[in-house]
Each structure stands twice: as structure tokens, then as C-alpha cells.
Structure 1
Amino acid sequence: MNRLIDLLRTYGPILGMILVLAIVYLLKPSFLSPNNVANVLRQSTILIILALGLTVVMSMRGVDLSIAQVADAAGLIAAIAIINHYPIWVAFAAPVAFGVIIGAVNAVQMAYLGIPAIIGTLGMMFVIRSGELMATNGSEPQILFTLPRGLTAPFLFLGQGSVGGIGALIILATVVFLFVFTLMRYTPFARQARAVGNNVRAAFLAGIDIRMVFGAGFVVASTLAAIAGVALVSRTGIAMPRGAEPYLLDAFAAAYLGTLASRRGEMNVFGTLLGALFIAFIGNGLTILGMGAPWRYAFNGGLILLAMAVGGLKRKE
């Protein structure tokens, strides 16, 4: 009996999420049709990648509010490169390089200059947003789907193509997940990041370069955000300022929901994947049920509060 109670305490929230999805399915059986499931999996790629990067930072008690803006700018860079007939590799490499640079700047600010992460990344968010507006003459969209297919096909394949019947976006999300899972589970960085997240002073006394480790988290988050931005533009065929902003709240919700898959309410990569998939499916379900964005935002906000409350109870046990 005690074991059953312990299991319910640990995995009850996850069972609750499954129950919510089951209710949507009962109301709209088309919710779990193969075509709809495949569509949601493709759409969830951007959220999964953003949330995984955010999880790396938050596992060390940091936060990065600039990831959505980095994704926006990276997508714009890729679109501008395509429109101006740069080689296709530039459309992929330049945005990722941009993400690395922004991550490095964030790392210097937060890890070495001591600027609070919430302030530093908020400032970076506004700086990038201003740059986007200047680069696009206000907020002029960069449209790719109207260009000759021969020019855009290699770039759009990432977001719209498939390999062996599996969407390229799903493959991308799988690769990124395996990379982050390995990074945060089987590498020296994983042990160091865990130590920094648990107790910074103890990590310092143990000889860990806490500044480098903390800063590396921001580099990973921004790099993944840039990849997500390129994937988003490749899927939609259009890039515009603030196009990725709606994903920021979803990414936070996914990361916090991921803590429900941990016995101690900690950030974890596998939990974040489950949280992102749940957010994607419930968003799709609410749309099918005719409930718009306000309901989805309210739902995500409530999930964040629930995850934080449950996490707090787990840590007190």
C-alpha cells in the first residue's frame, strides 16, 4: 500500500496528463488519428528544442528569457541568406554561429560579470528584437515560399521533407534530444552542472569552475534556440520578428512539467521531452475543441504553477 502511494505521489501528475489527453480523445476521436499525431510531432520540434536548451540553464538555477528572440533572429538570418542567394550552407551555419555568439555574450554577462540572469537575458531579448526590426524595416516578413522552388527546396526540406517516411523535423528533434540527454547524463559537464545546481559553494570548494560551467549552459541554450529558429522558418516558409515569441511560455511550461517526472522535482531532460509533447498535444486538442489561444495560455500558466507547487512538496519530503 505504501509503495502504491509512493508511486502515485511520484507519477500521479504524469498519469493526470495522460488522463487529460484521454478526455480530449473521447470528445474528439480525430485527436489521436495518425495524421494528426504526425502533424503534432512535427509542430512540437521547435518547442522541444527550445525547452531542452532552457532546461540546461534552469538545471543550474539560471534562466534565459532571450531564447525566443534568438530563434526569431536566427530564422531571419537564414531567410535573408536564402533571399540574397547565398550558398545553402550559409543559411544553416550563419544562424547557428549567431546563436553561439549570443550565448557567449550571455555567458560573460551572467557568469563572469555577475549580472542576474533574468535581467541580463531580458536586456538581450530587447537588443535582439531591436536588431530584428531594423533589419526588416519595421517588421516586414521575409517570405520564402513564393520564391522559385529550386532556390528554396534544400532549405525547406528540413521543415517540410521526410526521410524514409519520417519527417525531417522529427529526426532533428530526436538528434537534439539524444545530444542533450547525453550531455546532461554521461559527460563531465553533467556532473559539474548538477553540482552547480545543487550547491554552488560546495561545487566551488570541490574545484569546479562554476563560472565556465554556468556560462556554458547559456551557450547551449542559445545555440539550440538558433537551430529551433531555422527549423521554424524552414517549416513555415516565412520569417518575421517576434514569430517565435509564443514558444517562450510553452518552453517554460514544458521545462517545469518535466520536473514532475523527477522524484525530487528537479529539472531533467527526459521529463522536459514529455512536458513539451504534452504541451504540443494539449494545444492541438484545445484547437480541435474550438478553444483559442487565451485558453491555451491560461492552461500553460496553470500547469507551471502546478508543477512548481508539486515540485516544492517533493523537495520537502
Structure 2
Amino acid sequence: MQSATTVRRASEPFLLDQLRAYGPILGMILILVVFAILKPAFLSVANIGNVLHQSSILIIMSFGLAVVMAMRGVDLSIAQIADAAGLLAAVLLLHGQPLWIVFTLPIAFGLFAGLVNGLLVAYAGVPAIIGTLGMMFVIRSGELLMTNGAEPQILFTLPRGLTRNFFFVGQGSIGPFSALVLLGVVVFIAMMVVTRLTTFARRARAVGGNARAAYLAGINIRAVFAGGFVLAGLLASIAGVALVSRTSIAVPRGAEPYLLDAFAAVYLGTLLSRRGDITIWGTLLGGLFITFLSNGLTLLGLGAPYRFALNGGFILLAMAIGALKRNH
């Protein structure tokens, strides 16, 4: 018969495995429970709807970053692409351009910026962190030129007839559902298909798992890697246009705070996977948690410094736990 000490020692690895697997999830839930206790309005239907509305932009942007990071890359330009796409949409609207141009030209810009990133990183051999950082500064300079030195592009003063359809994306609703939330749902479904059911999905997983093995298997790893940046640029531009539609104003560098939040969303998503994988599902839940966290801190009267500190802490925690999962 086994002694109590032997049984206890045998159970310790199991308990550690469970703690590594589910501890972060329980910790995230505990934080939300604390907010609900301190501020009962935190879990009200109105507040939850507001959080879902606010989180859609972050989640759309984070999906693109997740695709790049799953292939062991990084894109520091997504927030700047979103910023410039929103500014471009606002400038076009202020100059009376047709609505289809207001939407399609910024998205085309996002695709172009993502393509340039992909060509620099995958084909020219520029390190991703350097190439996308350079793209970020180039776009930022273009924004200053486009706005005569960071001049805000104010849309809410325009006649409602000119802005109604544009504002519908960020402020309208279809039945009881926010149009922005529905946009997020559509993008989520599309990303689930792209990252699970397509040839690109299989090749991207191979590149992320072992690039050399993928190359020896005949996969064009440069094209796949570049494709991830193109997808990130596309999603960033959609998020940027949606942001301006929601706020009715476009300001240079207005989307930059989303960059840290996007990284936090992706890394937090890895905590929800037993193997620490980057997934669209995990990124979705990570983005929701980040937005609920920001909302809870706001209700408690705590500002951005606390949110940035917590986001940074969560990123470090996710990296540490990911390392533990890989080593066990």
C-alpha cells in the first residue's frame, strides 16, 4: 500500500500541470469577479454591450498580429497603418468623395503597406522588428504631411447626410446588435476559416512550426510569411476606418495605444492554450479581457498608467508561462 507521502508526491506534478494549464484562466476570471464586486454596474447588460462595442476594433487589429506572430514574426506597424487608414478615410470624406472610395482606398492602403512589409521582411531579409518599425515611422511622417502637422480631422460637424452611412459602421446597429460588433463577428468567422480551412492555414502552421522543414517540404515560405503581413495590414486598415467611424474624429497617432493592447491580447490568448499556441480563439478572448480590464479600471477611477502597467505585466506573465509549458 502506498504511503500518504508517496501519494502526495505523485499528485504534485499533476497539480502543477493543472496550475500551469488553468491558473491563468482562473486568475483572469478572478480579476473580473473583483471588478464586479467593487462595481456592480460592471456586469450590467449596458456595460457589457459597451465593452463588446469597444473591443471590436482591438480584436480585429489583434487578429492580424496573431497571424504574423504565429509564424514567429512581429509587426510593429499595425497601429500606425490603422491610424493612417482612418485619417485617409476622414480626409476623403471631408473632401466629398463617394462613400465607396472612402472605404476602399484606406483598405487598399492597408494592403499596400502590408505588402511592402512582407516584401521587406520575407524577400529582402530585413528583420521584422526593424522593417515594420521603419514602416511605422514612414507612415507617421505621411500622416503629419496629410494633416498639416497633426491637425485633427473632425467629422461630427459635417451635415448628417454626408456622414450617416459612414458613421453607421461604428455607431449604428442592426436590430438589437451593434454594427461594429457584427463586423467583428464577421471578421472573426473569416479569420477562423482562413487560419483553419485554407491552404494558407496549413502552410502557415508549417512555417510557424519549423520553417526549414516547411521549405524542404516544398512550401514557398517567403510567400507565406509575406502573406501574413499583407493580412495584418488589411485587418489594421479595417480597424482604423472603424475607429474613426466610431469616434467621428481622426487624429494622427490616435490609434497608437492599440499596439500594446494588441500584443497583450495575443499573448494572453496563449495562456488559454495548453501548449501556449497563438490562436484566433485565444486572441479573441484575450482582446475581450483587455477591454474588460480597461473598463473595470475606468469604473474604479484608475487611468491609463494602471492599464499599461497591467498589460505589460500580463505580457511578461504570458511569456513566462509559455516558457514553462515548453519546458515541461
Under a length normalisation based on structure 2, what TM-score does the superposition of the two structures give? 0.95
Q: Report whether the alignment pairs 1:206 with 2:217.
A: yes
Q: 1:144 aligns with which of 155, 161, 164?
A: 155
Q: Which of 211, 220, 223 is residue 234 of structure 2 equivalent to?
A: 223
- Other-structure match for 1:14: 25
Matched, 1:181 2:196: no
Question: Which residue in 1 is equivalent to 2:266?
Answer: 255
Q: Which residue of 2 aligns with 1:88?
A: 99
How much has 1:4 moved relative to structure 2?
6.4
Name the aligned partner's letter for residue 141 of structure 2: S
Q: What is the match of residue 238 of structure 1?
A: 249
1:37 aligns with 2:48: yes
Partner of 2:286: 275
Deviations 1:168-206 (A, max 9, x none): 000001111111111111111111111111111001001
Specify the alignment match of 2:317 in structure 1: 306
Alignment partners' CA distance in 2, 1:266 and 1:27: 33
Residue 8 of structure 1 and its aligned partner are, at CA, apart by 3.7
Q: Deviations over 1:99-142 (max 9, x none)?
A: 00001111110000000000000000000000000010000011
2:78 paired residue number? 67
Q: What amino acid is the match of 1:95?
A: P
Counterpart residue number, 1:297: 308
In 2, the alpha carbon distance for the partners of 1:133 and 1:9 equals: 46
Q: How many residues align?
A: 317
- Output one character per residue of 1:82-105: Cα deviation in whole Å (capped at 9) or x when no partner: 111111111110110000000111
Amino acid at match of 1:278: F
Partner of 1:107: 118
SS at match of 2:112: helix
Uncovered stretches (5+) of structure 1, i.e. residues with no partner: none
Candidates 274, 297, 310, aligned match of 1:286 = 297
TM-score, normalised relative to structure 1 = 0.98
Deviation at 1:238, TM superposition (A): 0.3
User: Equivalent of 1:266, from 263, 272, 277?
Assistant: 277
Q: Distance in 2 between matches of 1:5 and 1:119?
A: 39
| 3-state SS in 1 of match to 2:196 | coil
The C-alpha deviation readout for 1:252-272, integer Å capped at 9, x for no partner, is 000000101111111111000
Aligned partners of 1:126 and 1:79: how far apart in 2?
A: 21
Measured on the aligned residues, the alpha-carbon RMSD in Å equals: 1.0
Q: Distance in 2 between matches of 1:3 and 1:43?
A: 39
For 2:175 and 2:301, the matched residues in 1 are separated by 34
What letter matches 2:89 in structure 1?
A
Distance in 2 separating the partners of 1:203 and 1:46: 33
CA distance in 1, matches of 2:28, 2:284: 14
Q: Does 1:161 align with 2:161?
A: no
1:62 Cα shift? 0.3
Counterpart contact for 2:20–2:321, Cα < 8 Å? no
Question: For residue 221 of structure 1, what is the amino acid of its counterpart?
Answer: A
Q: Distance in 1 between matches of 2:101 and 2:14?
A: 55
**Can you list the C-alpha shifts for 1:253-307, whole angstroms capped at 9, x where unaligned?**
0000010111111111100000000000000000110111100000000000000
TM-superposed CA distance for 1:5, in Å, is 5.5
Whole-angstrom CA distance in 2 between matches of 1:143 and 1:161: 19
Match of 2:66 in 1: 55
Q: Provide Cα deviations, 1:212-244, integer angstroms capped at 9, x if missing partner.
A: 000000000000000000000000000110000
String of CA shifts for 1:52-85, please: whole Å, max 9, x gaps.
1100000000000000000010001111111111
What is the percent sequence identity of the aligned residues?
A: 66
SS at match of 1:184: helix
**Structure 2 unmatched runs, 5+:** 1-10
Alpha-carbon distance between aligned partners in 2 of 1:258 and 1:69, rounded to the nearest angstrom: 23
